[in-house]
Structure 1
Amino acid sequence: MPLSLWLALVGAGVLISFTPGAGAVNTMSNAMTSGWARSIWGILGQQAALLIHIVVVAAGVGVLVAGTPWLFDTIRYAGAAYLVYLGVRQFLTRPGPGVGTDGGAGVPEPVPSMFRRGLLVNLTNPKAIVFFLAFVPQFVRPDRPLAGQYAVLAATVVAIDVLVMWFFFATTARGLGRLTAGESGSRTVNRVFGSLFVGVGVLLAVMH
């Protein structure tokens, strides 16, 4: 991939990662409830989903999803329902005893659970497939070997998203966590992020 094209990819990747969405909400929620360091596991789950989206688009399956309304809607509503479920569950969660290590409130969530939720939050968003279907071809030259180009694209997008999620969204949430320590603060965090998850889920369901 030429340097000029790669730099354009970096710029686009940064803008995409800084755009708030379900992944950012999930990252901030993890940072405030389980700590900044442990939030990386949810971020890695989100990146695994991102890689799956890229593979799906590269394999041409994305065209099928984008061109099949009922399949697209089925995935879209399933993703929206999952986000609403996460929101309601977090909204109703009782505050844990005290403040956990690394700024997290209460008992940290197990790593597999954080990774799985991050994976599902991004994986059940069919708009991501459609987006990558439009995004990826801009940075791939069909007259050159594709495997290497897709590898560079995936590595670049994942690296940028990890840095933005961990060092911007998780760090921002870490600072807010210090202001919401204690049982009352934990309850506020759960209600705020529970509401955000529900809001993102509703938007995903109603936007076309």
Structure 2
Amino acid sequence: MTLSLWLSLLGASTLISFTPGAGAINTMTNSLNSGFRRSLWGIMGQQAALLIHVMVVAAGVGLLVSRSPMAFTLIRYAGAAYLVYLGVRLILAKAQGADDIAVQGRESAVAMFRRGLWVNLLNPKAIVFFLAFTPQFIRLDAPALPQYLIFIGTIIVVDIVVMWLFFAASAKSFSRFTATERGQRILNLCFGTLFIFVAALLIFIH
């Protein structure tokens, strides 16, 4: 991959990562509920999903999914349903006092990783996006493996930096709300509603 092509990939990846979506909402929620540092576990789960998406596209399965209305629709509804589930669970979550948080502890790293994985994995538009995006940076007359490694490595590093140092860090400005039960309920309502809103976009915008 030439330097000019890589710089184009870097710029495109940065813009894409800054686009608000379910991953950004999930990252901010983790940062608020479990802390800035531990929110990285959810981000890593999201990156694992991106890696799977690129592997699927590289294997040609993405083309099959994009050309199969039934397969695309099933995955789309599954992804939307999962986001609605996360949103409703957040809205109905009981606000915790400081003593409750100390007793119950914060969410486990495995749980955050798993949720991050499913948030990004159950998004069929990501497969279609990578199907259209990937060929722009892969040359057929050059060895494929090094190109794919640079491609996915750039996307993952950029997304980690943006998610952690921008979205997770931005959530710290809301930290004063988490100190009170009323503030927690307001934030849970806001972020839960955002999850449901993203799910609605996934269903109604084609």
Q: How does 1:1-208 map to 2 (within 5 A)?
A: 1-98=1-98, 107-208=105-206
Separation in 1, partners of 2:148, 2:99: 43
Counterpart-to-counterpart distance in 2, 1:31 and 1:100: 18
1:151-179: CA deviation from partner (whole Å, max 9, x where unpaired): 00010000000000000000000122234
Deviations 1:103-127 (A, max 9, x none): xxx8411111100000000000000
User: CA–CA distance in 2 between the matches of 1:29 and 1:107?
Assistant: 16
Contact 1:76–1:124 (CA under 8 A) maintained in structure 2: yes
2:76 aligned partner, one-letter code: R
- Contact 2:23 2:119 (C-alpha < 8 Å) held by counterparts: yes
Aligned residues: 204
Instruction: Say whether the 8 Å CA contact 2:62–2:128 is kept in structure 1.
Output: yes
Deviations 1:53-110 (A, max 9, x none): 0000000000000000000000000000000000000100011222899xxxx84111
TM-score by length of 2: 0.96
Unaligned runs of 5+ in 1: none
Gaps of 5+ in 2: none
Determine the C-alpha separation between the residues in 2 that align with 1:116 and 1:206: 26
Distance 2:14 2:123 in 1: 20
**Identity percentage of aligned residues:** 58
| 1:82 to 1:203, Cα distance in 2 relative to 1, 3 A | same
Contact 2:84 2:195 in 1 (8 A): yes
Whole-angstrom distance in 2 between the partners of 1:34 and 1:112:
13
Paired residue secondary structure (2:170): helix
The CA distance in 2 between the partners of 1:177 and 1:75, in whole Å, is 35
Tell whether the 8 Å contact from 2:54 to 2:152 is kept in structure 1 after alignment. Answer: yes
Aligned pair in 2 of structure 1 residues 99, 191: CA closer, same or farther (>3 Å)? farther
Q: How far is 1:5 from its partner?
A: 0.5
CA RMSD of aligned residues (A): 1.5
- Contact 1:39–1:166, Cα closer than 8 Å, also in 2: yes
User: What CA distance in whole angstroms lies between the structure 2 residues aligned with 1:68 and 1:27?
Assistant: 31
C-alpha distance in structure 2 between counterparts of 1:100 and 1:159, whole Å: 36
Q: 1:100 to 1:171 in 2, by over 3 A?
A: farther
Equivalent pair of 2:177/2:184 in contact (CA under 8 Å): no
1:7-52 C-alpha deviation (Å, 9 max, x unpaired): 0000000000000000000000111111111100000000000000
Ranges of 4+ aligned residues in structure 1 off by more than 4 Å: none
2:20 aligned counterpart, secondary structure: coil
